[in-house]
Structure 1
C-alpha cells in the first residue's frame, strides 16, 4: 500500500492541516503494516515554474516534439512528479483556505502534473482519468466559521472544496472523503483541531 501525502501548508508544526493529516497517517500506519508514505510537500519540492517555457515543454511532450537539454530537464522533473501520483494507492491532501481559495503552490503542483496521457486522456471529444485510486482524504482547514453568525454565504467555503474534489475525480480517484475543520484561529481552535484529529483516526480504520 503506497500513500501519497500532499502537504500544502508552509506552517510546519503550527499547521492544523498537517497535524490532522499526521493523526490520520499515524492511525492508518498502525492499521496497515505494509504502508509506504510518500510525502510531497509543495513548499519543499523543487517545483518547476509553470511559465511560458514549461507550457512550451508541455505541448512538445504531448506532441512528442524534440526538446533541448534545458527543456528536457523540465520535462523530466514534471514526469517525476507525475510518477508519484501514478504509483499511489491512496491520497491524503491537507488544504488550508487562503483568501477563500487554496495555497498557490498547490495549484502550481496541479498545473504541473495534470498532463494529457499522464493523469488524464483526451480524444478530441471527451476526457478520461488515467489513475485508478480507490479513495482520497481531503482535509479542509478554515480559520473562520461556516455558521450563520460568520456568514455562511461567504465566498470560498464551497467552491474551494468543489474544485479539489473535481480535480481528484478528473485524474481518477473513485471516492473522496473529507474532513472540514473551522475556527482554527480563535479560542475554539484547540477543541476543533483535537476533534478533527479524533475524526481522522476513526476514518483511518476504514480507509
Structure 2
C-alpha cells in the first residue's frame, strides 16, 4: 500500500495538523502490509506560487518551453505522479485566517492541469485521476464546522472532485486554541473517531 502524506502546517512537527496526520498515517499503516509512505511537507519544501510564469508554463507546448518552464512542468508532473501512485492520500489542513494554507493552494494549482488531471466536456469538467480515499484532517484553533466561516472544506471537496478524487473523508479537530480543556476534549474525540475515520 502506498500512502501520500501532505503536510502544510507552518510550525512543522509542532503543528497540530502535522501531528494528527502522522496518527492517521500510523493507523492506516498498521492495517496494511508492505506500506510505503511518501511525505511531502509543503512548508519545508515550498512550491512556486501560481503567477503568470507558472500559468504560461503549465499551458505551454513542450517544444516551445523555456528552461524555466520545463522546470515548472517537471515539478507539476512529479506532484501529479505522487498522487497517481498513491493508494490513499492524507492531507493535513490547518486553518489560517479562515482559509487553506497558501502553500497547499500552490500544491493544488500545480495539480490542476487541463488535459492531464481534468478536461472540459459538453457536460462540464471531468476529473481524469482515478478515485481513491483522501483523508483530510481539518485542524482549527476555533470552531467552524458547518459555519459560514468554514471556507476550507467546501473548497477541498470541490478542487479534489474537479481532478477526479471524490472519496474525500474529513475529520474535524477544532477548538485547539480555546484552552487546555477544549483542546484535550477535541484530541480525545479525534482518537475515538480515528478508528472509524481511517
Number of the residue aligned with 1:111: 109
What SS class does the counterpart of residue 40 from structure 1 fall into?
Answer: strand
Number of the residue aligned with 1:177: 169
Change (3 A) 1:139 1:164: same
Asked if the contact 1:24–1:197 (Cα under 8 Å) also holds between the matched residues in 2, the reply is: no
Asked if the contact 2:46–2:103 (Cα under 8 Å) also holds between the matched residues in 1, the reply is: no
Distance in 1 (alpha carbons) for counterparts of 2:122 and 2:53: 24
So what's the TM-score if we normalise by structure 1? Answer: 0.85
Deviates more, 1:128-137 or 1:195-204: 195-204
Asked if the contact 2:129–2:164 (Cα under 8 Å) also holds between the matched residues in 1, the reply is: yes
Asked if the contact 2:141–2:174 (Cα under 8 Å) also holds between the matched residues in 1, the reply is: yes
Offset of residue 183 of structure 1: 0.9
So what's the TM-score if we normalise by structure 2? Answer: 0.89
Change (3 A) 1:26 1:53: same
Number of the residue aligned with 1:60: 60
Offset of residue 184 of structure 1: 0.4
Distance in 1 (alpha carbons) for counterparts of 2:140 and 2:46: 27
Number of the residue aligned with 2:29: 29
CA-based RMSD: 2.0
Offset of residue 107 of structure 1: 0.6
What SS class does the counterpart of residue 197 from structure 2 fall into?
Answer: helix
Greater relative contact order (Cα 8 A, min sep 6): structure 1 or 2?
A: 1
Number of the residue aligned with 1:12: 12
Gapped regions of structure 2 (runs ≥ 5): none
Distance in 1 (alpha carbons) for counterparts of 2:52 and 2:185: 45
**Residue correspondence of structure 1 range 1-207 to structure 2 within 5 A:** 1-61=1-61, 64=62, 66-123=64-121, 126-146=124-144, 153=147, 155-157=148-150, 159-185=151-177, 186-187=179-180, 188-204=182-198
Runs of 4+ in 1 over 4 A off after TM superposition: none
Offset of residue 102 of structure 1: 1.0
Offset of residue 171 of structure 1: 1.3
When the two structures are aligned, how many residues end up with a matched partner? 196
Gapped regions of structure 1 (runs ≥ 5): none
